[in-house]
Amino acid sequence: MSYNCMIRKGIGILGLFFILLPLRADEGMWLLPLIRELNMDRMEQLGCELTAKEIYNHDAASLKDVIGSLDHGSCTAGLISGEGLILTNRHCGLDEIQSHSSPERNYLLDGFWAMTKEEELPNPGKTISFVVSMEDVTDRVLGMVHHEMTETERDNEIEQVSETIIKEATDETHYEAIVLPFYEGNIYYLVLLETFRDVRLVAAPPESIGRFGGDTDNWEWPRHNADFCLMRIYSSPDGTPAEYSPDNIPYNSSTYLPVSTRGYSENDFTMVMGYPGTTDRYLTSARVREIAEIENVNRIRIRKSAIELIEKDMLTSDRVRIQYTAKHSHLSNYYKYSIGQNRGIYLLNVVERRKAQEEEFRYWISEIPERIEKYGDVIEEMDEVIRERKEMENALSYIEEVFLLHKAVEIYDFALTAIPLYFNRLGFGNDEDEPEEYINEMRETSVNFFRDFNPSTDRKIASALINQYAMHVDPIYFPGIFSTIHKKYKSDIDRYLEHLYRKSVFTDRERFDKFLQDPKHKILIKDPAFLGAFAIYSTYFQILAEYEILEDRYFSASRRYQEGLIEMYPDSSFYPDANSSLRLSYGTISGYKARDAVRYDYYTTLSGVMEKEDPENRDYTVPQLLKDLWRKKNYSPYSKDSLMRVCFLTNLDTSGGNSGSPVLNSRGEVIGLNFDGNWESMSGDIIFEPYYQRSICVDVRYILFLIDHFAGAGHLIKEMDLHD
């Protein structure tokens, strides 16, 4: 399922590897309860020294207990001390680093190092979850499901049964649970989680180290940035999860990851465990084409415009730079990814290869009448749905990118927070609904919004993207703001926006606070931002209502397609697509040949940082202290020679959500931290290419060196279990 469809539908399509032949070695994001049967023999051949039970055991301590999911799937983190210290990527903590920054105390630019636990910074809303157990509940979930059900009836039945299973699993415990579908809803697992809600910022390197290379080097190799940060889990005094409190204590854990200072060599075994977000490796040719030609093209066009405007304003103001650093990072990351994914789709001829797979499937169906009856129309049905929804898909991708989910323009999404209050004031909703609850929620949301909001920047983005929407979306999917612009402002978008940002209560902190003192619905129905948000919101759900009818047809057909593919290759081992559940990927340390006459080594060094240095380019500035340390070559005890390795490559199968996954050696010791993929593998969520696909990792020895020698925070290293 696409980047956008995942969000629209929740847990969506899960599938098989695109070619559906016996899997090539080391490919796959594997479910932990199944590795004993499917993977351990191969892992041992590559050098793994761990047993299956040391990796996953629901009755005793294992690696599953020390690999956490940040914010329910946004990133991964590893527990590396008995006092709750966790290691993840700097970009996974970027929102938190930004929230604590100001022009006077710029942790984004200068870094942050807590020298005592009292200096560690709380982060309201930040969570980390650890898997307690995973249980196959397929028979129970699908027990009352039958083929005659509509998709809605099927979903309702599964939801009701899942709610019962979750309630039984969590009653009288502090655990959370979720029932997740795998293999397109052919398999279901109950995942029991322990979620901690007091996660504090401990350390983060300065931008010139943690983001060295900036957007230029993003998704590229060779790489030279130390993309890491440290946080700490706090619990109640009895060790159970708790909301933030000064009375909480560092989480005490008897199980945590050891850290290796021994290093690695090419072809050494390595693995990651983490929470990859989504992959789509079984999609039909028509769906791949839809992603490339609609979703990616729109995302590239929209984000390019927004990014350019943000960058101009960031150059003129330190405050705007702090306000928009995280937003810029989020927008630019998938902007460049989408460019790379389309490049990979075309260069690797993915559409034609999927067509070949479909022809093989059709031939297999034709051999037996029963197969024709069961599977004969599935590909044609999916293709027909994609044809019918083309203009809807285009409009939805624009609304989501510009206004709602990814909100390049922020003001309308913020104004939507008033909708519950608006309907409450009109007398709708439950009798027990108190308006004060809605007002308090709006007030809480406004704190972060206004802290990171610059009306001038947002207005410029709105002007550019509303114009784009008008140019590229079918007019039947225009929200009501276009009628307002045409009738009231004579089609002048900038006049409309000038009025909106000058008058709306949602664009100014003082006006907003005054409104909350006496929030009358009459104010809302005259407010241009609220009216615009309401119009966009209404249009979005009108489109979705029609879109989801088609989507039900698509999901029904794709589930049968997957069922047929499994039946077609009964002797093959398959892994389900990623869905933010805990997975394992294994492989080796490995360089690669990028193209003719270009072969990349498997690691980079600190000398490469100095070679890239450019004092005139913010992305390539180097702190003086780091240059001094490099000249002295005193890397002990984190290097046994005159080289300090910075980053390295593995052929692990990873995706978004694996950011922050600890990279482990054959003994389960941390040797690095996964943070990116190479440019040649950007189509990896759709197709795995073993010759090109590499995960980019920061060497843990460089991390230790920076903590100790650069920051002088050796007390943090003393918490860790270092293995030489």
Q: Is residue 227 flagged as an active site residue?
A: yes
Q: Is residue 313 flagged as an active site residue?
A: no
Q: Which of 2, 65, 69, 91 is catalytic?
A: 91
Alpha carbons 205 and 495: distance in angstroms, whole number: 44
Q: Do you find a cis peptide bond into 241, omega within 30 degrees of 0?
A: no
| Strands 30-31 and 583-588, bridge-based pairing | antiparallel
Residue 17, token pair as written in the block:
């590897």
User: Which residue type sits at 109?
Assistant: L
Alpha carbons 17 and 26: distance in angstroms, whole number: 13
DSSP code of residue 15: -
Residue among 295, 379, 327, 300 at smallest CA distance from 5: 295
CA atoms within 13 A on the CB side of 413: 18
Give, in order, the Cα–Cα distances in Å from 317 to each of 94, 103, 108, 183: 19, 10, 14, 49
Q: Which of 227, 527, 577, 699 is catalytic?
A: 227
Q: Which of 659, 681, 683, 695 is catalytic?
A: 659
Q: What is the CA radius of gyration of the chain?
A: 26
Return phi, psi of residue 429, to 5°: 100, 180
The b-or-e profile of 131-152 (16+ CB within 10 A means b, else e) is bbbbbebeebbbeeeeeeeebe
Q: Which residues contact 123 (CB under 8 A, 6 or more apart)?
A: 96, 99, 199, 200, 201, 231
Q: Which residues contact 116 (CB under 8 A, 6 or more apart)?
A: none
Q: Do you find a cis peptide bond into 519, omega within 30 degrees of 0?
A: no
Neighbouring CB atoms inside 10 A of 709's CB total 19
E-assigned strands of 165-228?
Answer: 176-182, 187-196, 198-204
Residue 589, token pair as written in the block:
């340390």
Alpha carbons 606 and 646: distance in angstroms, whole number: 6
Residues 274, 674: contact at Cβ < 8 Å? Answer: yes
The b-or-e profile of 525-564 (16+ CB within 10 A means b, else e) is eebbbbbbbbbbbebbeebeeebbebbbbbbbbbbbbbbb
Neighbouring CB atoms inside 10 A of 661's CB total 30
Alpha carbons 521 and 423: distance in angstroms, whole number: 8
Helix axes 378-388, 390-402, angle to 10 degrees: 60
Check the CA dihedral 216-217-219-225 and report its sign.
negative
Residue among 349, 315, 258, 281 at smallest CA distance from 704: 258
Return phi, psi of residue 132, to 5°: -90, -45
Return the active site residues.
91, 227, 659
